Amino acid sequence: MSSPPDDGLVRCGWSDGSALYRDYHDREWGRPVRETNALFERISLEAFQSGLSWLVILRKRENFRRAFADFDVESVARYTDTDVTRLLEDSGIVRNRAKIEATIANARATLGLGSTDLAELLWSFAPPPRPRPADLSAIPAVTPESTAMARELKRRGFRFVGPTTAYALMQATGMVDDHLQTCWVPPVAAEIH
């Protein structure tokens, strides 16, 4: 894919080189997400991304949405072995049995939270706001909060959400603001807590 045209805005370096990355960075990454199905989508996509480029996931995102009923938790929780077989044959998504089965298990685990809302659970691990990092090398891959989140999710039956994936989820859903200090995207700390 060709590089996006230069619009003069300073962005986080990881978003360079692809219009998909740029648009995801500018419009979505780091913005607070609190709706159950939207959070379930992010958990699912982060799990599918494990070991792959995020660009692969962005390119297949609409296919994932189609394949997983727009990440409607109740619908995905009802998926059966027939659905797993169908998904394994779907070339529009990442065809990994363990990740497909984890997505279904995670939908069921989300429903199993009972009176605890998924947003309430996930956001309970959000650290206090901190200054934006000066450069990409200052961004951690794992934090005590993401380790605690991963541990609690596993305890509640979630799969494929280790500490690194949990931290990526925290970044993607605005629980932490890892846009660089020089990035044009306005801070959203006021929206977080």
DSSP output for 46-82:
HHHHTTS-HHHHHHHHHHHHHHTGGG-HHHHHT--HH
Q: Where do the domains of the chain lie?
A: 13-183
> What confidence tier does 181 reach under pLDDT thresholds 50, 70, 90?
very high
| The predicted structure's pLDDT at residue 74 | 98
Query: Residues with catalytic annotation?
Result: 24, 46, 54
| The predicted structure's pLDDT at residue 188 | 77
Fold of 13-183: Endonuclease III; domain 1 (1.10.340)
- Nearest-Å Rg of the Cα atoms of the chain is 17
Closest CA to 42 of 187, 185, 192, 168: 168
Closest CA to 185 of 167, 171, 169: 171
Are the beta carbons of 8 and 166 closer than 8 angstroms?
A: no
pLDDT exceeds cutoff 50 at 131: yes
Closest CA to 92 of 54, 64, 58: 64
| The predicted structure's pLDDT at residue 193 | 41
Structure tokens, 22? 């740029």
pLDDT exceeds cutoff 60 at 191: no
CA distance 171 to 129: 12
pLDDT exceeds cutoff 80 at 61: yes
Structure tokens, 19? 């219009």
What confidence tens digit (pLDDT) does each residue in 13-31 have? 999 889 999 999 999 999 9
